[in-house]
Amino acid sequence: MNKIKVGVVGTGFIGPAHIEALRRLPNVEVAALCEVTAELAKEKADGLGIARSYTFDELLKQDDIQAIHICTPNFLHYSQSKAALLAGKHVICEKPLAKDLHEAEELVKLAAETGLVNAVHFNLRYYPLARQMKSMREKGELGEIYSFIGSYLQDWLFYQTDYNWRLEPDKSGDSRAIADIGSHLMDILEYITGLKTVAVMADFNTVHKTRKKPLKAVETYSGKMLQPEDYADVPITTEDHANVLLRFDNGNKGVITVSQVSAGRKNRMSLEISGSKKTFSWCSESPNEMWIGNRDKANEILMRDPSLVNEDVRSTITFPGGHNEGFPDTSKQMFKEVYAAIAEGKQPEKPTFPTFADGYRELLICEKILESNKAQAWVTI
């Protein structure tokens, strides 16, 4: 088998997650790793068992590397995706696709011109029961959609002393909670329901208006108590928490809440979709079960099982019922579809995976949500 050789750019949390998922595909080889310096790239590559390491410009010159995964901070996504496309590489980019709509639009156009495979890592679509909800809705089992209630809650920025590059707008953009986790929620909403969000009304809250930025590298004080002089006070302008009212193109309504300051919620996405026939409810903390609500008979629990889900959902499931699959499997299932396209050498006419165009769509919604919060008014999309 001639394996597709891949280069991964960035080694924070999500880069190694991509690498682990890619290594579970039989037709893919993670051949190279890229970091900001050659020394750091070598250190990280050695730690991850990857033979070759490069800086970004060097990686693009490697003729045998067919696909590039962009797993860097947000402000680098546009320039690195553009450079990779111009170098003739297929591109899988972390979200957000870019920092603004102009950049995202340029990437969508360039990707279309090249015909190269392009994808944005909205991997949460690939929980099997998310696709099951979509499939059941397409078969008419949900009926007309009355409402959507969604939340995405985390606690990793709960304390004033919690700090990360995502708190800095020059690196992450003008929105944080909405752009980071709200984008997943808005993407999966439209993916499952088939609805388009046509207007938004947003209200943000910055709980910690000043945060304590550590002046030492995390590794140097892990497990130790810092002194006041070890911090710098940094003003925060992006949201810790956001509520957004939604209007859909079928005339009905929805609401989402996102928070990065909800104690005890490590990474909890929850969806409740009510229709004229049933209600579907699902939560990422128990991703292998889906609640189905009925008015005139007992409610139901559907367990993730390839023998019980719809036929068009089975490709997203690897293991039999009772053998749980979770977050790492979502990336594997997404990359399986992406690399089937890469094996063909071009972007499909109707991709099953999220593309740069989907990345543009989520940036558009996020920008309108930002605009609404600033105006404290309804904004049309």
Token pair, residue 1, equals 């088998």
Helix/strand/coil for 35: coil
What whole-number distance in Å separates Cα of residue 345 and Cα of residue 53?
25
Helix 183-193 crosses helix 356-375 at what angle (to 10 degrees)? 120
Instruction: Identify whether the C-beta of residue 58 lies closer than 8 Å to the C-beta of residue 87.
Output: no
For residue 352, pLDDT over 80 is answered with yes
Mean pLDDT is lowest, of 47-51, 87-91, 157-161, 224-228, for 224-228
Residue bearing the bigger pLDDT, 119 or 1 = 119
For residue 219, pLDDT over 60 is answered with no
Question: Does residue 109 carry a catalytic annotation?
Answer: no
> What is the pLDDT at residue 220?
43
pLDDT in tens, 178-187: 999 999 999 9
> What is the pLDDT at residue 332?
98
Instruction: Identify whether the C-beta of residue 79 lies closer than 8 Å to the C-beta of residue 103.
Output: no
> What is the pLDDT at residue 224?
59
> What is the pLDDT at residue 243?
98
Burial class (CB in 10 A: 0-12, 13-18, 19+), 67: buried
For residue 226, pLDDT over 80 is answered with no
What whole-number distance in Å separates Cα of residue 254 and Cα of residue 285?
22
Residue with tokens 């004229």: 276
> What is the pLDDT at residue 216?
72
Residue with tokens 């909890």: 268
Mean pLDDT is lowest, of 34-43, 164-173, 338-347, for 164-173
Instruction: Identify whether the C-beta of residue 301 lies closer than 8 Å to the C-beta of residue 293.
Output: no
> What is the pLDDT at residue 201?
98
What whole-number distance in Å separates Cα of residue 323 and Cα of residue 295?
31
Res. 222 pLDDT band, cuts 50 70 90: low
Helix/strand/coil for 243: strand
What whole-number distance in Å separates Cα of residue 210 and Cα of residue 222?
22
DSSP per-residue codes, 187-234: HHHHHHH---EEEEEEEEE-S-SEEEEESS-HHHHTTSPPPGGGEEEE
For residue 53, pLDDT over 50 is answered with yes
For residue 139, pLDDT over 90 is answered with yes
Instruction: Identify whether the C-beta of residue 177 lies closer than 8 Å to the C-beta of residue 238.
Output: yes
Res. 172 pLDDT band, cuts 50 70 90: confident
pTM above 0.85, yes or no: yes
Mean pLDDT, residues 149-155: 98
Q: Cβ atoms within 10 A of the Cβ of 287, count? A: 21
pLDDT in tens, 294-337: 999 999 999 999 999 999 999 999 999 999 999 999 999 999 99
For residue 228, pLDDT over 90 is answered with no
For CA atoms 84, 86, 89, 93, the dihedral sign is positive
Catalytic residue chosen out of the listed positions 95, 99, 134, 332: 95
Token pair, residue 217, equals 């590298």
The whole-chain average pLDDT of the chain stands at 95
What whole-number distance in Å separates Cα of residue 112 and Cα of residue 346?
10
For residue 217, pLDDT over 90 is answered with no
What whole-number distance in Å separates Cα of residue 210 and Cα of residue 237?
9
Res. 221 pLDDT band, cuts 50 70 90: very low
What whole-number distance in Å separates Cα of residue 241 and Cα of residue 233?
20
> What is the pLDDT at residue 225?
64
pLDDT in tens, 58-110: 999 999 999 999 999 999 999 999 999 999 999 999 999 999 999 999 999 99
The amino acid occupying position 112 is: A
